[in-house]
Amino acid sequence: TSIMFSVYAEKRNLIEHDIDWVQTEKHVFETASNHPFLVGLHSCFQTPSRLFFVIEFVRGGDLMFHMQRQRRLPEEHARFYAAEISLALNFLHDKGIIYRDLKLDNVLLDHEGHIKLTDYGMCKEGIRPGDTTSTFCGTPNYIAPEILRGEDYGFSVDWWALGVLLYEMLAGRSPFDIAGASENPDQNTEDYLFQVILEKTIRIPRSLSVKAASVLKGFLNKNPADRLGCHRETGFLDIANHPFFKSIDWEMLEQKQVAPPYKPRLESDRDLANFPPEFTDEPVHLTPDDTIENVTNEVKKLESAWELRSMRSARLLFSLRFFLIAVVYFEHLTWLGH
């Protein structure tokens, strides 16, 4: 039986100056293999020019793709996705990892409709309860106020980002959509967006339920000490016990025993219907100056020298940037033993 994989590639000359970052990403991949809602590493190899991570091909697309077509999600759907994301974040936090890049693009759906978080390039390891870090990073619309204020921060930034994402799912827009919508060019800048995040009072749509409004206000509290999920002793329990999540059986959910509210339509293992055609229709090239033929020849010459480390679980990482590489390389990965 054949198994479809995706391949995540990094050019070595771009990362040799930051080996610690590569080691962190690889270690998080390995750690994530132990959780159902996180992308895990299957195996990895290298050539003189690149590092490759071999990961499962996830067929359901990302939430950004689905949100662009549905505009907003029913509360039941948003609750389900937010609950699975919460379990994934809590697992990372228990392992001392801050995710730091939660956004619609990084939430993928598998063929059954369960979520998987992807892309660990901004993760921070070695964070114990009460520890903080200070690196300014993240996707602008999701950056927490404490990062923008230049404060040290911890796991709180992930719960803020979940609040932004949940707002987007329920309202069909960002809580900070005033940025970029003005005719004044001074109000269409990243600096103005950050000002809005720091100063704007977030308005909850009247169409949302009282429980939904409450959980959004909890996650989007600008003071991390008072934010939902951030209490040192009862952090995740405060989320699990919130009225918005009252209907969730957390144990059954983590075991994937709760049926997803939506199942992606798929006709085959290689069905691309859940991915934007502007990505899937592109020619397959690793870089503008490297052809697939050249790389394939390089692979054949170096095959005996590759050092592979197989992980015990073939969880998912999928990135649209590397999907076409996965399709082309599929036949060349049969030697992995699958």
Confidence category of residue 334, pLDDT binned at 50, 70, 90: very low
Sign of CA dihedral 265, 268, 273, 274: positive
Judgement on whether residues 46 and 164 belong to the same structural domain of the protein: no
Look at the chain and count its residues.
338
Cα–Cα distance, 208 to 153 (Å, whole number): 30
Last residue of a domain, one of 197, 222, 254: 254
Percent of the chain with pLDDT over 90: 56
Q: Is residue 101 flagged as an active site residue?
A: yes
Which of 33-37, 51-55, 224-228, 243-247 shows the lowest per-residue confidence on average (mean pLDDT)? 51-55
Q: How many CA atoms lie within 13 A of 127 on its CB side?
A: 25
Residue 275 pLDDT grade (very low, low, confident, very high; cuts 50, 70, 90): confident
Q: Is 46 among the domain residues?
A: yes
Same domain, 248 and 298: no
Give the per-residue pLDDT at 265: 84
DSSP for 139-157, please give it. -GGG--HHHHTT--B-THH
The one-letter amino acid code at 26 reads K
Range of the domain at 219: 71-108+118-254
**Separation of alpha carbons 240 and 247, rounded Å:** 10
Catalytic pick from 101, 110, 119, 158?
101
Number of independent structural domains in the chain: 2
pLDDT at 56: 80
Lowest model confidence (mean pLDDT) among 108-112, 223-227, 320-324: 320-324
Identify which of 51, 56, 48, 50 has the alpha carbon closest to the alpha carbon of residue 311: 56
Regarding whether 94 and 167 lie in a shared domain, the answer is yes
302 within domain boundaries: yes
Q: The pTM is what?
A: 0.82
Longest dimension (CA), the chain: 63
- The mean pLDDT of the chain is 82
> Is 65 inside a domain boundary?
no
Q: Which of 205, 229, 254 is the last residue of a domain?
A: 254
Q: Cβ contacts of residue 287 below 8 Å, gap of 6+?
A: 11
Supply the CATH number for residue 198's domain: 1.10.510.10
pLDDT above 70 as % of the chain? 79
Q: Provide the pLDDT for residue 98.
A: 98
* Residue 91 sits in the same domain as residue 229: yes
Tokens 């899937």 -> residue? 280
Q: Which of 197, 224, 254 is the last residue of a domain?
A: 254
The strand pairing partners of 107, in sequence order, are 117
pLDDT tens digit sequence for 31-53:
999 999 998 898 988 888 888 88
Q: Which amino acid is at 7?
A: V
